[in-house]
């Protein structure tokens, strides 16, 4: 085979190299400026460079439960035994058919700061979860309300104090993080679910950390009760089953009133019977509600996807042309691609470490290639079943 090495490029080749370099620079900026934010923030937090409140506020913890009898037995004591000066726990039982009511009654006899209420049976044309959380907020006696789910377990008795230490003057919202508990027999499916969740999490955390918060996760979230009523709760999206965290936070979060907490002590762990099915359901929910988000993040991430695809296409074209005509072009394509991949791997792995997700390596190229097609699949099945997302019938 005749190998041709030449630094003399034609005009089309120069244009292709220029466009390739431009998209490479944009990709690097995305990675280092945006997606590297959570890790840098985590380091800064560990070095105690952030400002926190000296006096912990009284808080009301609202726990959403639906047929979570086993979870209530296992995880409620971890929440009720938090090392915290003054707090109450309100469990909202959403029409459960298991032994949740009896278990809560037993727990109430042991813990004086535990209360529970329930969603009335037969509530129609309403989002049960939004109604449950609204009942919880109305029952709360303290201004700071912290939200989680009955299937979530705090890592230690410092969860509540670490999360709420962020309520300094001017802060109304604190965004926490929830990891997914790994089961022993899960391998490839859990790895992909973890990869997809990390990319999803990187987006909303990174934007919050640059002063553009647009969503949170209701399994680990806190805000002021006054803010809830000032914005008329979930009234703008009562016709949707979901959106109690992302759409509501999108409405009330600003550059100045929102903080993020990623310390190990503040991270929740969610336990599901089937992680894949749970991930699938959450993905469909957030994909649907994302259409209603008012945020620059959609434009930024849309532009990022375009740059991603453009970089990949130009890489293939330049590399192929280089093999056929000029091997210098192949090297020009390979070196930036290797550098970009290395940056992505480093950022992914160290972020996965602090967020307690599998630190993938060899699977990353495969997952990054299949993710657009997986997303397309979920968009299709989500569009086919979109009626179930509305409360009206």
Q: Is residue 7 part of a domain?
A: no
Q: Is residue 116 part of a domain?
A: yes
Whether 303 and 260 map to the same domain: the answer is no
CA distance 286 to 219: 14
Helix, strand counts (H, E) of the chain: 13, 10
302 Cα distance to chain centroid = 18
Whether 86 and 220 map to the same domain: the answer is yes
* pLDDT value at 302 more than 90: no
Looking at 248, 272, 294, which one is the last position of a domain?
294
* pLDDT value at 133 more than 70: yes
Q: Which residue has the higher pLDDT, 2 or 192?
A: 192
Q: Which residue has the higher pLDDT, 170 or 391?
A: 170
Whether 290 and 310 map to the same domain: the answer is no
Q: Is residue 208 part of a domain?
A: yes
DSSP 161-223: HHHHTT--TT--EEE--EEEPPPTT--HHHHHHHHHHHHHHHHHHHHHHTT------TTSEEE
Whether 346 and 242 map to the same domain: the answer is no
Mean pLDDT, range 66-93, rounded to an integer: 95
Whether 290 and 302 map to the same domain: the answer is no
* pLDDT value at 281 more than 60: yes
**pLDDT tens per residue across span 321-367:** 888 888 888 898 999 999 999 999 999 999 999 999 988 888 888 88
Q: Is residue 251 part of a domain?
A: yes
Whether 65 and 105 map to the same domain: the answer is yes
Whether 321 and 355 map to the same domain: the answer is yes
pLDDT at 390: 65
Q: Is residue 393 part of a domain?
A: no
CA distance 279 to 283: 6
Sheet with 258-260, edge to edge strand ranges: 114-118, 87-93, 59-65, 144-149, 221-224, 173-175, 258-260
pLDDT at 296: 77
Q: Please, are residues 186 and 271 in contact by the beta-carbon 8 Å criterion?
A: no
CATH number of the domain within which 70 lies = 3.90.550.10
CA distance 27 to 208: 20
Whether 255 and 146 map to the same domain: the answer is yes
Closest CA to 40 of 269, 365, 260, 357: 260
Q: Is residue 131 part of a domain?
A: yes
CA distance 38 to 122: 43
Q: Is residue 51 part of a domain?
A: yes
Whether 79 and 199 map to the same domain: the answer is yes
pLDDT at 367: 87
pLDDT at 323: 84
Whether 272 and 331 map to the same domain: the answer is no
* pLDDT value at 125 more than 60: no
In which domain, by residue range, is 323 found?
12-36+298-384
Looking at 239, 261, 294, which one is the last position of a domain?
294
pLDDT at 363: 84
Looking at 294, 311, 336, which one is the last position of a domain?
294
Q: Is residue 267 part of a domain?
A: yes
Q: Is the pTM of this model over 0.85?
A: yes
Domain count of the fold of the chain: 2
pLDDT at 256: 92
pLDDT at 128: 76
**pLDDT tens per residue across span 8-53:** 888 888 999 999 999 999 999 999 999 999 999 999 888 777 889 9
CA distance 118 to 105: 12
Whether 330 and 375 map to the same domain: the answer is yes
Whether 99 and 233 map to the same domain: the answer is yes
């Amino acid at each position: 085979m005749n190998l041709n090495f030449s630094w003399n490029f034609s005009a089309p080749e120069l244009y292709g190299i220029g466009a390739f370099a431009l998209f490479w620079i944009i990709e690097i900026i995305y990675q280092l400026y945006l997606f590297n934010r959570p890790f840098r923030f985590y380091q800064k937090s560990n070095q105690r460079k952030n400002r926190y409140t000296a006096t912990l506020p009284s808080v009301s913890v609202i726990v959403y439960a639906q047929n979570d009898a086993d979870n209530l037995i296992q995880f409620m004591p971890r929440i009720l035994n938090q090392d915290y000066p003054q707090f109450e726990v309100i469990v909202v039982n959403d029409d459960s058919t298991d032994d949740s009511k009896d278990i809560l009654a037993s727990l109430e006899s042991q813990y004086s700061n535990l209360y529970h209420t329930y969603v009335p049976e037969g509530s129609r044309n309403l989002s049960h979860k939004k109604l449950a959380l609204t009942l919880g907020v109305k029952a709360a006696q303290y201004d700071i309300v912290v939200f989680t789910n009955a299937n979530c377990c705090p890592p230690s008795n410092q969860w509540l104090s670490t999360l709420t230490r962020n309520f300094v003057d001017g802060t109304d919202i604190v965004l926490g993080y929830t990891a997914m508990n790994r089961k022993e027999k899960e391998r490839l499916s859990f790895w992909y679910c973890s990869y997809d969740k990390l990319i999803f999490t990187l987006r909303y955390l990174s934007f919050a950390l640059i002063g553009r918060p647009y969503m949170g996760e209701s399994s680990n979230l806190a805000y002021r009760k006054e803010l809830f009523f000032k914005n008329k709760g979930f009234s703008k999206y009562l016709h949707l089953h979901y959106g109690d965290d992302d759409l509501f936070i999108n409405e009330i979060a600003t550059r100045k009133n929102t903080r993020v907490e990623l310390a190990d002590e503040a991270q929740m762990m969610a336990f599901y019977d089937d992680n894949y099915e749970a991930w699938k359901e959450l993905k469909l929910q957030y994909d649907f509600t994302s259409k209603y988000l008012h945020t620059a993040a959609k434009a930024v991430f849309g532009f990022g996807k375009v740059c991603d695809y453009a970089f990949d296409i130009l890489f293939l074209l330049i590399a192929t042309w280089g093999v056929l005509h000029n091997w210098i072009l192949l090297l020009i394509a390979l070196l930036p691609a290797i550098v970009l991949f290395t940056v992505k791997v480093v950022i992914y792995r160290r972020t996965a470490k602090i967020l307690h997700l599998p630190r993938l390596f060899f699977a990353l190229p495969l997952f990054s290639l299949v993710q657009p097609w997986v997303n397309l699949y979920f968009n299709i099945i989500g569009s086919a079943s979109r009626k179930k997302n509305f409360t009206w019938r």
